[in-house]
Amino acid sequence: MTIIRPRRRTDEAPLVLTTEPPRSLSFADQTAFWANLGVSLIGFTGAVYVLQPAGHPQLPILGALLATILGTVLGTGMVVAAGAVGARTGAPAMANFRGLFGTKLSYLPTLANIVQCIGWGVFELTVIAGGVLALTHGRVAHAPVIIAAGVLCTAMSIWPLRVLHILRRYVTVAVAISMLYFTVQLLRNPLPPVHGTSWSGFFPGVDTALAVAVSFVPLAADYTRHARSARAASGAAMLGYSVAQTWCYLLGVVALIQVGCDPNRIFDTFLGVGAGWVFFAILVLRESDQSFANVYSTAMSLQNLLPRVDRRILAGAVGALATVLALGVHDFTGFSNFLLLIGSVFVPLCAVLVVDYFFGRGRRGWNLDDNAPARPFMLLPWLLGFAVYQLLNPGSISWWAQLWMHAQNALDVHPGWWSSASLFSFVVAGLATGVLVLAERRFARA
């Protein structure tokens, strides 16, 4: 890869694929960035899936609290581990897979990430439009908001490092004040009693909180590669993301309980408190950093396929595509299930990546060149982990879920309260990679 060594704090991310990025993000910059990603309008409504895990009765409030904390901390741990690899190699997230699978095979996770990031980018643009709709009581049309948000997040993705500095300086404080305001206002009303709760959906609840954090696994290294040290990158992601997502989900749980667990009315609680619209507007505006992260990471993923194309051209094209797609989307229900399905690809992949980097071939330095040789056997633990995930949680796309239910019956595996798909998938993929790493070492010695 091309080697360039810019160092100043004002330096921007390299324009072409390189493993020598400017290391200009401080601990505070990164903590603020991850905290911003942890707070999302989707998080407030998504809390309903932790509170009422699919196929289970509602969790008690303590159960929802613990499931949120456990899922978030475990999911963030995976983000941290993937980010630590990027902080050490200096390569963007998808280019790291060249070391694990070889360059050509690294296109597999790259394509999955391009699909997931464009999907999330479109989703986030529609979430912003939904927020503006709630804020203006439907007085502003959908299309102009989508176009404005699309232009904003595309512009942000042209100057990613400058944007991260700005987020730290101005946006994170405003978001923290807004969250504090809503927390105080919502907790002033006593929570109505909730009946018929059960702990049976505890681990599915954990899985939900974990899945949202894990969806940032394939993006992490695009940002941590600019950290001054792997330790700072890891601490910042852990602190910023886990605190923010936990806070966001718990605020969502409180708001949901106050509107009888109807996610469609959740924004009413925020807008119903005195001056709520001011703080809600801040949260809507900051949702653009989520879209920005998706557009920028899609461009970086594309650069793994097109290493010599200027990332600004790629980001411009991706931003335009996401905006056009978002103009046509009004209902996201089916697509969000698809996003969760893609997200599940990255849980076992993270385990394989981390085990091979810290215990296997990565210890001697991965080959991240344009012609890194294929390591197809490394696909096996990934596939195994993916199968374990689907077996325990096949999701809500009916034909896909039915396929896996046949497999459950054939193997006599029946998911219960104990079956966290993410944890089992991560552990199985990690252990299987460990076996391959040991076999590779033996083979090298022989």
Ligand X SMILES: Nc1nc2[nH]cnc2c(=O)[nH]1
Binding footprint of ligand X on the chain (CB under 6 A) = 40, 42, 117, 120, 124, 212, 215-216, 219, 290, 294
Q: Which is nearer to ligand X, 19 or 294 (CB)?
A: 294
CB of 78: closest distance to ligand X in angstroms?
13
CB of 402: closest distance to ligand X in angstroms?
27
Q: Which is nearer to ligand X, 216 or 382 (CB)?
A: 216
CB of 171: closest distance to ligand X in angstroms?
16
Instruction: With CA atoms as reference, report the closest residue to 304 among 103, 154, 3.
Output: 103
Q: Which is nearer to ligand X, 91 or 244 (CB)?
A: 244
**Which residue in this structure is represented by tokens 């076992």?**
348
Instruction: With CA atoms as reference, report the closest residue to 225 among 282, 274, 172, 161.
Output: 161
- Record the tokens describing residue 294, joined without a space: 């998706």
Distances (CA, A) of 14 to 82, 155, 311: 21, 16, 8
- Record the tokens describing residue 374, joined without a space: 């294929």
CB of 294: closest distance to ligand X in angstroms?
5
Q: What is the largest CA-CA distance in the chain?
A: 73
CB of 190: closest distance to ligand X in angstroms?
31
158: left (phi over 0), alpha (psi -120 to 50) or beta: alpha
Q: Which is nearer to ligand X, 17 or 213 (CB)?
A: 213
Q: Is 12 exposed, middle or buried (CB count within 10 Å of its CB: 0-12, 13-18, 19+)?
A: middle
3-state secondary structure of 313: helix
CB of 123: closest distance to ligand X in angstroms?
7
Q: Which is nearer to ligand X, 224 or 290 (CB)?
A: 290
CA distance linking residue 294 with residue 302, whole number of Å: 12
Under a CB-based contact definition with an 8 Å cutoff, are residues 50 and 253 in contact? Answer: yes
Q: Which is nearer to ligand X, 153 or 428 (CB)?
A: 153
Q: Which is nearer to ligand X, 18 or 297 (CB)?
A: 297
CB of 420: closest distance to ligand X in angstroms?
19
CB of 362: closest distance to ligand X in angstroms?
24
DSSP string, 230-268: HHHHHHHHHHHHHHHHHHHHHHHHHHHHHTTT-GGGHHH
CA distance linking residue 334 with residue 383, whole number of Å: 24
CB of 375: closest distance to ligand X in angstroms?
26
11: left (phi over 0), alpha (psi -120 to 50) or beta: beta
CA distance linking residue 43 with residue 37, whole number of Å: 10
Q: Which is nearer to ligand X, 1 or 108 (CB)?
A: 108
- Measured CA angle at 118 (ends 27, 280), to 5 deg: 60
Q: Which H/E stretch holds residue 383? A: helix 379-392
Q: Which is nearer to ligand X, 59 or 248 (CB)?
A: 248
Q: Which is nearer to ligand X, 31 or 215 (CB)?
A: 215
- Measured CA angle at 66 (ends 196, 259), to 5 deg: 50
Q: Which is nearer to ligand X, 132 or 437 (CB)?
A: 132
CA distance linking residue 128 with residue 196, whole number of Å: 35
CB of 331: closest distance to ligand X in angstroms?
18
CB of 43: closest distance to ligand X in angstroms?
7
